[in-house]
Amino acid sequence: MKTSYLKAQGVGVMRFARNVQFQVKSGKETELNTLFEKEVLPMLRKQDGFQEEVTLLNPKGAQFISLWDNRKNAETYEKATYPQVLAKLTAFIIGTPNVEIYETASSYARA
């Protein structure tokens, strides 16, 4: 389904995405996932404009993709809450995460 259809149905549509990429310390994948579900996700859900989180994990690293309704809300999260999230993740990651920002080009859901 295209975004215009979703809007017409009253569904929140993502307009902005943050992709946080990093390497996970060996053997810490399960602990990281548990921490994310129990501590980080509840923090995200309290943020204005937060729509969805997609977490991808493989032996090469992880990508945490958060979807937002607009740039302003994502930037507010970046400044106010992301430092707290990063502090929680530090024990599980190698180096500094790479954060990439994306505007929505199109969005589809299963028909």
pLDDT digits (tens, 9 = 90+) for 83-111: 999 999 999 999 999 999 998 767 677 77
Strands across the sheet containing 93-103: 50-58, 61-68, 16-24, 93-103
pLDDT, tens digit, 9 for 90 and up, residues 10-24 = 455 668 999 999 999
Query: pTM for the complete prediction?
Result: 0.80
Q: Residue 74: pLDDT above 80?
A: yes
Half-sphere exposure of 36 (CA within 13 A, CB side): 19
User: What pLDDT, on a 0 to 100 scale, did the predictor assign at position 13?
Assistant: 62
Mean pLDDT for the chain? 86
pLDDT above 80 (res 31): yes
11 φ, ψ to 5°?
A: -90, 135
| Residue found by looking up tokens 């530090």 in the block | 90
